[in-house]
Amino acid sequence: MSVGYPVVDDHSGHVCLTAGRDVFCSSSLTLVPKWHCNTGRTPIHVSLRTSLMSYEIDVSSSHPTYSLNRTDLQDALRHGLRVEGVRNAVLSVTVVDNLTSHRLNRQHLQHDYPTDVISFQLEWTSGDGMADSPSELPTGRSADASIEGEIVVNADFAAEMAEQCGWSTKDELTLYAVHGMLHICGYDDQADDEQEIMRAREKAVLAGIGLTPQYPGLRRADDDEPPGNSADRGPVPQDGSSVAASDPTEATQ
């Protein structure tokens, strides 16, 4: 449940300020629009737009050694979704190692190397029901939309890149998760102009949690090294691999 989300407890009728992180609905809770009271019973104005946002974010790890802070990663993604104006989101994030990343990259994108992040857009629904795909605007491509997707981030890759970028593995991994979220929101980075837009959105999201990403433009010397680099600074395909909302087997880096 989101901090500041206005509710009435049906059992007692007490109007209160709720706490917690994830927005959820319950048979015992009824929405009170715009106004509610805190424990001191002082009226507080609450944004109805914010109160209608619902985010379910599951974070897990299969990495054998990386110490994952699930709460911080959830908070970063929740912040990113708010910045993008997403109304409803169901996201699953998994932290993996190079071996697993390599296998998934080969299986879903036919690229024979580990990478930093792979995302799967499973569902995208516009807020007004009029559009069947995200807009091409430079910001807010999923404003008021409902999205569902999976993000796979590579902690081994993050550790390697973090050392060269001058920040922590945790920060680098946060960048990967945000990058994957933006793909699910409808941003791409295959063309130069799209890459510029996506980097701007990454910076906008990360600035809100006190981070400034660096883009050194490094390239891994793999056997089948792909040309160019993406906004996630890892080796990525340049053949325009895209996400299909109706096909979870298709992925985007």
3-state helix, strand, coil in the chain (%, to 5): 30, 20, 50
Tokens of 53: 């946002």
Looking at the structure, do residues 164 and 74 belong to the same domain, yes or no? yes
For residue 11, the enclosing domain spans: 6-50
Mean pLDDT of 180-198: 94
3-state secondary structure 213-229: CCCCCCCCCCCCCCCCC
Residue 48 — φ and ψ, nearest 5°? -65, -35
Looking at the structure, do residues 177 and 201 belong to the same domain, yes or no? yes
- Using alpha carbons only, how large is the chain's radius of gyration in Å? 19
Q: Is residue 213 domain-resident?
A: no
Could you report the per-residue pLDDT of 116-143, keeping only the tens digit for each? 999 999 999 998 888 888 988 899 999 9
Looking at the structure, do residues 108 and 196 belong to the same domain, yes or no? yes
Q: What is the DSSP letter of 20?
A: S
pLDDT at 48: 45
How many independent structural domains does the chain possess? 2
> CA 63, 69, 72, 73: dihedral to nearest 10 degrees?
10
pTM confidence score: 0.70
Looking at the structure, do residues 80 and 142 belong to the same domain, yes or no? yes
Could you report the per-residue pLDDT of 5-40, keeping only the tens digit for each? 333 333 333 333 323 333 333 333 333 333 333 444
Looking at the structure, do residues 100 and 164 belong to the same domain, yes or no? yes
Looking at the structure, do residues 22 and 119 belong to the same domain, yes or no? no
Q: Is residue 157 domain-resident?
A: yes
Q: Is residue 246 domain-resident?
A: no
Q: Is residue 82 domain-resident?
A: yes
Q: Is residue 35 domain-resident?
A: yes
pLDDT at 190: 87
CATH code of 105's domain:
3.40.390.30
pLDDT at 13: 34
Looking at the structure, do residues 37 and 135 belong to the same domain, yes or no? no
Q: What CA–CA distances, in Å, run from 52 to 32, 36, 44, 125, 126?
A: 11, 15, 17, 16, 15
Looking at the structure, do residues 93 and 179 belong to the same domain, yes or no? yes
Looking at the structure, do residues 125 and 12 belong to the same domain, yes or no? no
Looking at the structure, do residues 45 and 79 belong to the same domain, yes or no? no
Query: Which stretch of DSSP H or E encloses residue 121?
Result: strand 117-125
Looking at the structure, do residues 152 and 46 belong to the same domain, yes or no? no
pLDDT at 49: 52
Closest alpha carbon to 220 in 154, 167, 173, 145? 154
| Half-sphere exposure (Cβ direction) of 41: Cα atoms closer than 13 Å | 1
